[in-house]
Structure 1
Amino acid sequence: MSRRQRSLLIRTVLFLFALNSLSLAIYFFLHPRPAPSSETLTQTPPPSILKPWPSLPSFLPWKPNPNPPLRSCEAYFGNGFSHQVNGLGEGRNGGWFRCFYSATLRSSVCEGGRVRMDPRKIRMSKGGERLELVMGRKEEEELPRFEDGAFEIEGDGGKRSGDGRMVDDEFLDRYVPRNAVEFHAMRGLMKSMRIVGSGELHCSQWIEEPTILVTRFEYANLFHTVTDWYNAYVSSRVTSLPGRPHLIYVDGHCKAPLEETWEAIFTSARYAKNFSASVCFRHVILSPLGYESAMFKGLSESFSCQGTPVNNFKENPGSQKTARLSEFGEMLRAVFDLPTDENSITKASTAHNILFVRREDYLAHPRHNGKVESRLSNEPEVFDSIQNWAANQTKCRLNVINGLFAHMTMKEQLRAVYEASVVIGAHGAGLTHLVSARSKAIVLEIISSRYRRPHFSLISQWKGLEYHAINLDGSYARPKVVIDELSNIVRSLGC
């Protein structure tokens, strides 16, 4: 191309760019955007940019006011948040706030509109840093402390208390009680919320779509993170969100691998301190703490819930049956584009996966030295014995899966659990993945004398999984005992 041709081409491109810019300017001059009316400001916009909820075989409708029996399975795992109470009435020109209280869980899911967050009034570390950069940082620095006015809500001109608080201590004690939690972040957030007059909600940014606020505590532990995921999911369903909301971490924890799943479940996820100035929400939801989930409550409260497939539940519902944990497990698989229909697994009936969930040293958070306490002192020996035994089986093909979860993505972990006919492992947080296991999976937990805890026998019960345990005198498991138990299990599979 000659110099003259290049010059002509450049002039042509610049002319077309200028013409396009002029056309856009004329369009916006002739078609100005109308200012939103007070009525449209109080409405939730359509969920067009939100991720849709996945289609789940186990999904059961979350009715607005089902009033399930107190301490029934639905009251624990489903919509037991049936008592609605208004913290601030909905006004045409102002904000609104209400809570749905569960007498069974003694906690609330709360939501409001026209709410302002000022991150400069939340005392905590920034959050989201690389772990290596914040080694030694104390947990107290990462958990939020709210100054008065950290959150504001627009009033409608009605009567306000002297200090402008949205709710008083009596309201908090009744609907957001501390229970056994020494520091209750949701309670502190609501206590900081102040009512401002109409037109006084000054924001540098508006978030139009529903947004859920979560404060995580033991954010690097899978069991406790699953309880947070579950409560956030329940909160989204209780408040009838049409799509998966945005999520904001109201904490200052460093970046953790489990955030991969938060980002998969919700439309987006970011830290409160990522906002340099105030941000306002058309619709905000406050999720209960993970300590207030049914999975955590089950460790200390005595209630009997038996997991059952949703079709069985529909045909024969009962107050001591639940399909909610199966629904949640399917949702976790769906957000990673894994199968939700158990009939989708196509493999020979004589082939079975045995997943051995391993425990490894890993660096979890700034206060962790990278060493996990051994729950099974001879784990490599047991694993090798299982591999050798499986290789010599002739009636069925047994695939022993090395569940080194610390080296696997979350999608790989969930796939391994879903495809397993048998899940075996020492007591440890990795077994929490049982929430995404198939209904016909069989669990074998090896429990040392120091860790006789009911976490995974309960999850198995609430999922309707067949469960077996080997209780050790110490932390050493005789391989023959494990093999004998496995032999009995695979015989029940037709091997």
Structure 2
Amino acid sequence: MSRRQRRLLVRTLLFLFFLNFISLSIYFILHPRPRAPRQTLETLPSSSSLKPWPSLPSFLPWSLSPPPPPRSCEGYFGHGFSRRVDLLHPHSSGGGGGGGGGWFRCFYSETLASSICEGGRIRMDPNRISMTVGGEELEKVIGRGEEEELPRYEPGAFQIEEGEGRADERLADEEFLHRYLPRGAIQTHTMRELVGSIRVVRPGELECSQWIEEPTLLVTRFEYANLFHTVTDWYSAYVSSRVTNLSSRPNLIFVDGHCKAPLEETWEALFSSTRYAKNFSGPVCFRHAVLSPLGYETAMFKGLTESFSCQGTSVHILSQNPDYQKTARLSEFGEMLRAAFGLLGNEDSFIKTSHGHNVLFVRRENYLAHPRHSGKVESRLSNEQEVFDAIQNWAKGQKKCRINVVNGLFAHMHMKEQLRAVQEASVVIGAHGAGLTHLVAATPDTIVLEIISSMYRRPHFSLISQWKGLEYHAINLAGSYARPAMVIGELSSIMESLGC
């Protein structure tokens, strides 16, 4: 090739390169790339990091068709959240809430007059939520007021992306909140106020310091240090996870500023992870968030004031003979609690009684529960130690079978040991008090003996026993003193029924 031909080839290549550069520049000017949401950190954890659901002997499917009738057992304890209301549909390109705009819907229960809500592409800004940080050591916040710990939301504390350009509007108006998240007797209805704070933003306007890819449950607790009320919160969170058909146990975020309490270890065991909303350094976005109703709106709490007929039974009986007046849901939940601590599967009646019958005496003892607590508990049985000692002496004299009296000092035991003690008990006995709420985790053959003073004639534990299908006995006192001989007489009759 001559020198002239080489120069011509180089000029041709340079001309073609320049022409291609001009063409590409014009294309990108006319077809700009869409802006991605601004964010400083994107996390993409694998779904395998979530804890799987355990296999529960009493489990029944939660998607029922047709839906259960109102005020049936399933309406109260199961999937009575059968009316679906969509507030925001996903953009057509997103399908199922996986992108292309946010989505939000609620499942309303006519029976409980409350809703479970869920949505996608939701942003939480902790700086717009007024409350204490939460998770502190109890001793460091003594005297702090409850009003400081419960959330108050500014408009836009939560945002949701809308796929069609609508912006700066409330997601839910007052009519929706009144109909599907009614305040009822709850003066500070935090879930209602959370939904009321949600504002719609345009695509690309969700500015987040972190994205959470996995399903996350948002929970606000009220009486977080009381076992009965905490169990209602656990149950509500469990039901919310099942009704929204989560394939694994979700993450959990406390949208409250309570200090760290001993009962928190069960939240950590039940769900994949726990964290406080105020622990996030900036706005955080959720691909899938689930809002759990308040514990006050569960059947266990409503059963104290509403009269409804519901009897606990086995899942085997229900599968053979469906009955809307019977339930195995509370047994299913009790199995979930035991499974969370690795205790499920050890309740075989032979194993349970191979070393004799355990009589678990649930005690009331002084302990510091929360910043406003004196550390002293009310006496429900004025001679509790006398009764306990008498039962121990009586048990030592039994010849027909071995009776082990277990000292149930729950306030100073880890939750796993508390649940183990309940699981291994043939008889649970105790004065009316929150410790008896552990009956939700009792095995079907457990017998209950409650000692009730005249000042505390309340149906909490007779109802839980009924809803679990447990044999229940009560000793009603004229005051708060129980004659040991009377308690031993009732206990002897129970043990005779067990062959002792």
Q: How high is the TM-score relative to the length of structure 2? A: 0.89
Give the deviation of 1:45 after TM superposition: 8.5
Write the letter of the residue equivalent to 1:486: L
**Residue in structure 2 matched with residue 255 of structure 1 by the alignment:** 260
- Structure 1 counterpart SS, 2:269: helix
Asked if structure 2 preserves the Cα contact closer than 8 Å seen for 1:47 and 1:242, the reply is no
Asked if structure 1 preserves the Cα contact closer than 8 Å seen for 2:166 and 2:200, the reply is no
% identity of equivalent residues: 73
Residues 71-470 of structure 1 correspond to what in structure 2 (within 5 A)?
71-91=71-91, 92=94, 93-159=100-166, 164-340=169-345, 342-343=347-348, 346=351, 348=353, 351-470=356-475
- Structure 2 counterpart SS, 1:422: strand
Asked if structure 2 preserves the Cα contact closer than 8 Å seen for 1:212 and 1:246, the reply is yes
Distance 1:362 1:334 in 2: 27
Write the letter of the residue equivalent to 2:291: L
Distance 1:67 1:348 in 2: 41
Runs of 5+ unmatched residues, structure 1: 1-34, 39-43
Aligned pair count reads 454
Q: 1:350 and 1:266, CA in 2 relative to 1: closer, same or farther beyond 3 A?
A: closer
Write the letter of the residue equivalent to 1:89: H
Give the deviation of 1:343 after TM superposition: 2.2
Asked if structure 2 preserves the Cα contact closer than 8 Å seen for 1:66 and 1:82, the reply is no
- Structure 1 counterpart SS, 2:232: helix
Once the two structures are superposed, residues 177-214 of structure 1 have per-residue CA deviations (whole angstroms, 9 ceiling, x without a partner) of 01111110000000000000000011010000000000
- Structure 2 counterpart SS, 1:152: strand
Q: Which moved more, 1:338-347 or 1:476-485?
A: 338-347
Runs of 5+ unmatched residues, structure 2: 1-33, 38-43, 95-99
Give the deviation of 1:406 after TM superposition: 1.1
- Structure 2 counterpart SS, 1:48: helix
Write the letter of the residue equivalent to 2:340: V
Asked if structure 1 preserves the Cα contact closer than 8 Å seen for 2:166 and 2:201, the reply is no
Write the letter of the residue equivalent to 2:83: H
CA RMSD in angstroms, aligned pairs only: 1.7
Write the letter of the residue equivalent to 1:220: A
Q: 1:310 and 1:341, CA in 2 relative to 1: closer, same or farther beyond 3 A?
A: farther
Q: How high is the TM-score relative to the length of structure 1? A: 0.90
Asked if structure 1 preserves the Cα contact closer than 8 Å seen for 2:217 and 2:290, the reply is yes
Write the letter of the residue equivalent to 1:477: A
- Structure 2 counterpart SS, 1:421: strand
- Structure 2 counterpart SS, 1:423: strand
User: Which of these two proteins has the greater Rg computed from alpha carbons?
Assistant: 2
Asked if structure 2 preserves the Cα contact closer than 8 Å seen for 1:57 and 1:340, the reply is no
**Residue in structure 2 matched with residue 6 of structure 1 by the alignment:** none
Distance 1:267 1:392 in 2: 48
Q: 1:468 and 1:390, CA in 2 relative to 1: closer, same or farther beyond 3 A?
A: same
Moved over 6 A (4+): 35-38
Distance 1:356 1:398 in 2: 12
Write the letter of the residue equivalent to 1:203: C
Give the deviation of 1:317 after TM superposition: 1.6
Distance 1:340 1:184 in 2: 39
Q: 1:126 and 1:356, CA in 2 relative to 1: closer, same or farther beyond 3 A?
A: same
- Structure 2 counterpart SS, 1:444: strand
**Residue in structure 2 matched with residue 48 of structure 1 by the alignment:** 48
**Residue in structure 2 matched with residue 57 of structure 1 by the alignment:** 57
Asked if structure 2 preserves the Cα contact closer than 8 Å seen for 1:350 and 1:395, the reply is no
Give the deviation of 1:310 after TM superposition: 0.9
Write the letter of the residue equivalent to 1:58: S
Q: 1:307 and 1:196, CA in 2 relative to 1: closer, same or farther beyond 3 A?
A: same
